Amino acid sequence: MMQKAKALDAADPLAHLRDAFFLPEGVIYFDGNSLGAMPKAALAEVDETMQQEWARDQITSWNKAGWFDLPTRYGDMLAPVIGAAPGEVVVCDSTSLNLFKALFAGLGLRPGRKVILAEASSFPTDLYMIEGVLAARPGLEMQLAENLLEAIDERVAVVLLNHVDYRSGALADVAAITARAHEMGAVVIWDLCHSAGVMPVGLNAHRVDLAVGCSYKYLNGGPGSPAYIYCAKRHLPEVQQPLSGWWGHEAPFAFAPGFSPDAGIRKFLSGTQPILSFRAMQAGLALIAAQDMATLRAKSQSLTALFIELVQARVPELELASPRAAQMRGSQVSFRHPEAYAIVQALISRGVIGDFRMPDLLRFGFSPLYLSHMDIVNAVQILHEIMADGLWKEPRFQARQAVT
């Protein structure tokens, strides 16, 4: 297996990108689906922003350095990565805030309908934001389903779902679900947090209505980096969002007393954006935007397939919790074990960084930009050793930390 891994790495067209990231010696990083590794270029971006644009040029940098246009400039940079066109994506705020905006926007496009349909297994914040919308709009209803294709009917206004399941890594069918929703007259919102940057998404190809996502996972934007929202151009003349802040005004520096929204994607902006975080994010965006999504997807599938093969051969006590077929999963593999938390902590102590999700999942994310097939071989060897010698049973690995 080692020879196979070395041969795959030798033929890898993305191998050179590993040098673009800070990767500590002795660490194998399988947590790009929670926080991407830091691009080396981010240091220079932030340094330039702080030492020149802020320290020397001060407030003139809103014009001189183009700070005011960063949400749409970076949105246009991201657009091809998720299959959108220029003017359909704006980078701003957090995924949760953008989801709140998108839910209201979708409901506004279907004013006669009352049901928001979501997956029962959705990432919790998606459901929390729906609850917030229900509190603000009495008379609406949230409906949860295991099978969305069967649950979409003529009562549904908005369908909200995750492109990749955050626990199992299962990949949803964008084409089929979007088509079914449109057949029933519903608007679709896709959450791309666990797919953007590692696979083609094809928002325009599938006529998706709205989408949201974060930039700190596979886009490597940095902890808490700004999120983004997509709206198909066909909806922009009509669509509205509730957080009508001055950055979304058609003429923000006219300081008019009443709100008049921008005619384009900037209408989804609210308040002043965090420029230092934007500039740190630019390095990761530039790296991703320069890649072919099909190439990234092919390597992702190769990495995850090898991982599954080796873990099942060498650590059979772990139960596969992700789809076995490569085309059915994202860039993530999860395994089940009753002591998953302790095993993950033991792995981290040995330099293999994954994470834990309730109640019993060991979760591993695979970034094609900086992981190699030999990383897979070495990580599974460490996992095998931990299970064989019972390292995970030590008391230090049992105590739960605040972030798992």
Query: What per-residue string of b and e applies to 11-21 under the rule 16 or more CB within 10 Å gives b?
Result: ebebeebbebb
Q: Give the separation between CA 23 and CA 56, rounded to whole angstroms.
A: 32
Dihedral, 307, 308, 312, 318 alpha carbons, nearest 10? 100
Residue 233 appears among annotated catalytic residues: no
Residue 216 appears among annotated catalytic residues: yes
* Strand 352-353 versus strand 28-29 pairing type: parallel
Residue 363 appears among annotated catalytic residues: yes
Q: Give the separation between CA 239 and CA 224, rounded to whole angstroms.
A: 27
Cα-only R_g, the chain:
22
Q: Give the separation between CA 113 and CA 371, rounded to whole angstroms.
A: 46
Q: Give the separation between CA 183 and CA 168, rounded to whole angstroms.
A: 29
Q: What is the DSSP letter of 192?
A: -
Task: Give the residue among 351, 239, 364 at the shortest CA–CA distance from 300.
Answer: 364
Helix ranges (DSSP H) in 83-185: 95-109, 124-136, 148-151, 174-183
Exactly one of 29, 216, 230, 397 is catalytic; which is it? 216
Q: Which two tokens stand for residue 227?
A: 């999120």
Q: How far is CA 102 from CA 117, 239, 257, in A?
A: 14, 9, 25
Residue 123 appears among annotated catalytic residues: yes
Task: Give the residue among 16, 7, 2 at the shortest CA–CA distance from 368.
Answer: 16
Exactly one of 113, 217, 266, 299 is catalytic; which is it? 217
Exactly one of 29, 74, 100, 123 is catalytic; which is it? 123
Exactly one of 93, 126, 191, 209 is catalytic; which is it? 191
Q: Which two tokens stand for residue 135?
A: 């509190």
Q: What is the DSSP letter of 81?
A: G
Give me the residue label for tokens 């989804």.
Answer: 268
Contacts of 21 (CB under 8 A, 6+ apart): 37, 38, 39, 40, 220, 369, 370
Q: Give the separation between CA 395 and CA 400, rounded to whole angstroms.
A: 11
Residue 191 appears among annotated catalytic residues: yes
Q: Give the separation between CA 389 and CA 347, rounded to whole angstroms.
A: 13
Exactly one of 180, 299, 329, 363 is catalytic; which is it? 363
**Mind telling me the catalytic residues?**
123, 191, 216-217, 363
